[in-house]
Amino acid sequence: MSADTDRSETEAEIMEATYRALCEHGYADLTIQTIADEFDKSKSLLYYHYDTKDEILIAFLDYLLDQFTVEDAVEGGDSPDEQLRALVEQFLPLSPSDEQREFQLALFELRSRALSKPAYREQFTRVDRLIHDAFVDVLAAGIEDGTFHAVDVDETAALLVSTVTGAMLRRVTADRDVTTPTRAAVATFLDSLVVDTEED
């Protein structure tokens, strides 16, 4: 096994340890030690690859983005309409697990770092672009095959991204159910996009 492969596997294990520690402790209580506690190898390996907690977290966000593909979020054989709804479910599940809730909360704690830290801003710009492009690709495919009415895909994707991320933020920062009415409104909007095949 090459040194590059060893390094890649070690870094992947660090990212997995970071995920577990972030879900358990959130950003405020996260330290290199809490990450090391989730890491099967020595703490010195963390410092070999990263000097600070923020360096690990920036690498973690980069790692997450590199792992995500639209193909993982939707079924290839589904219609564009089904895929669009699957994306909404992926980013704004109606009944998230405790782990999903903890991770979403941690992500918004990290997003707040983008207010003053350019490296975080760069990664969350990538996050928003990735989600936006996922919606664009499915919308464009649906327009091309006649599933959806012709709409401005960039504007429609921007609306969906803002709606989904806004609802995610409100869910983890307010003591009320915002997901159910938001998902109902999004479903109505998606219904309006679908071409009625019974129309003349």
Whether residue 187 has pLDDT greater than 80: yes
pLDDT of the residue at 199? 53
pLDDT of the residue at 155? 97
The percent of residues in the chain predicted with pLDDT above 90, rounded, is: 54
- Confirm whether 103 is domain-assigned: yes
CATH number of residue 156's parent domain: 1.10.357.10
The percent of residues in the chain predicted with pLDDT above 70, rounded, is: 92
- Confirm whether 33 is domain-assigned: yes
pLDDT of the residue at 73? 67
Same domain, 82 and 25: no
Same domain, 45 and 110: no
- Confirm whether 145 is domain-assigned: yes
Whether residue 2 has pLDDT greater than 50: no
- Confirm whether 198 is domain-assigned: no
The count of C-alpha atoms lying within 13 angstroms of the C-alpha of 27, restricted to the half-sphere facing its C-beta, is 17
pLDDT of the residue at 72? 66
Of 24 and 75, the structure prediction assigns the larger pLDDT to 24
pLDDT of the residue at 10? 84
Whether residue 96 has pLDDT greater than 90: no
pLDDT, tens only, 129-139: 989 999 999 99
Kindly write down the DSSP assignment for every residue of 96-112, as one continuous string.
--HHHHHHHHHHHHHHH
Residue with tokens 């095949």: 197
pLDDT of the residue at 71? 65
Count of domains in the chain? 2
The Cβ of residue 59 has, within 10 Å, a number of other Cβ atoms equal to 17
- Confirm whether 199 is domain-assigned: no
Residue count of the chain, please give it.
200
Domain extent for 20: 3-61
pLDDT, tens only, 101-116: 888 888 888 999 999 9
Same domain, 80 and 152: yes
